[in-house]
Homo-oligomer: A and B are copies of this chain.
């Protein structure tokens, strides 16, 4: 269903940017998992608006509450409902948008789809929906870490024309390494250039796009399923469903198309700890859509924020041409806040692949969870 995700760890999200609340119901959570709301709150805080000077001034605490599924701080096997109320909504900012379609927003498409449109805020197309995923993924992350030691780390790799200098050898290993600056680019020098650009664009009323890169460490081999549930397909869908995302790459991505097979193939070898590894990782951690034990490496492209304060030509619902100059509060660059959203998207894909795998291949579960000794 359009607002649901997952085969087993199944989330159903709800809420519009200017309605009473946004939230998620998670069905398919094992009983007995410690649920510390403060952990989930921490994840939400990384995506909340108003966390730094370079994000939207819409200041929301985004405090999460539990409506069900938890008893004495542990999951009980029932659906878990998590809710965040919308507090700082200023609907009158949208009065002038009632009949006008903002360029590159979903106003026109919603109008045509539903024959009807809630003109305050972006409704369901708003990035506020991602609160629901980040909250649900907070629980997923915990389970993945506890059972398998999996760790997902994303960062801002480029903004506009400003590229970072982070190579395979210098990928950040933890979210702490990423959160050292408000841009969430662990290359310090580049980060300050990016920050300056974003602040300049805010002043000009303009916006900019960029690229986020993400790595998943410590994945066991065997996760993901042929054919339509290949991990790459599920990751691509999870990421393209984030507002403003326009592209996805796994491993070598588009640049790999220019190589010959003899350069691109990832040769296997046995490492010192007797594990199967590949010398290169053009595959980005997946072969046939299934993890091979190498790091999962993906890239996501974000377009410039559609809301700008410059005057633009557009049309209205009476089929007339008109112009528009946006009010409202928006991020000139969504990338820094998209970092935790990308991580959430990835973790939601991984938890589901993991639960499906243990449903069907319990020997794998015995090997990688019950009996694993030291893992990477």
Contact = CB atoms under 8 A, between A and B. Distances in A.
B14 A25 contact: yes
A251 B206 CA distance: 20
Interface string A218-238: 001111111111101111111
Contact of A228 (B31, B241, B252, B259): B241
A96 interface: no
Interface in A91-146: 101, 103-106, 108-110, 112-118, 120, 122-125, 129
A63 to B, nearest CB: 14
Given A306-B261, A308-B265, A16 B240 contact: no
A10 B16 contact: no
Contacts of A70: 19
Contact of A83 (B29, B67, B269): B67
Interface string A256-276: 111111111111111000101
Interface residues of A, number: 165
A250 B279 CA distance: 32
A276 to B, nearest CB: 6
A247 B249 contact: yes
A35 interface: no
Contact of A67 (B14, B80, B236, B276): B14
A80 B80 CA distance: 17
Contact of A225 (B2, B211, B237, B364): B2
A247 B246 contact: no
A113 B232 contact: no
Of the listed residues A1, A114, A124, A305, the one surrounded by the most CB atoms of chain B closer than 10 A to its CB is A1
Interface string A191-230: 0000000000100001111110000000011111111111
A220 B247 CA distance: 23
A315 B275 CA distance: 10
A201 B260 CA distance: 9
17 contacts: A1-B7, A4-B12, A14-B67, A19-B70, A19-B71, A76-B116, A76-B123, A104-B264, A113-B222, A124-B227, A227-B241, A234-B237, A247-B248, A247-B250, A247-B256, A268-B314, A358-B358
Contacts of A319: 270, 274, 276
A301 B253 contact: yes
A321 B123 CA distance: 56
A61 interface: no
A292 interface: yes
A184 interface: no
A25 B158 CA distance: 38
Given A256-B301, A301-B257, A232 B240 contact: yes
Listed from nearest, the 10 A-B pairs whose CB atoms lie closest are A106-B288, A359-B359, A31-B114, A207-B261, A236-B236, A71-B118, A109-B290, A2-B225, A112-B221, A261-B304
Interface stretch (A43-51, A165-173, A365-373): A365-373
A149 interface: no
Nearest to A278: B103
Given A114-B31, A254-B254, A237 B233 contact: yes
Contact of A261 (B14, B251, B308): B308
A340 interface: no
Nearest to A260: B206
Contacts of A292: 108-109, 112
A303 interface: yes
Contacts of A122: 288
A37 interface: no
A4 B7 CA distance: 12
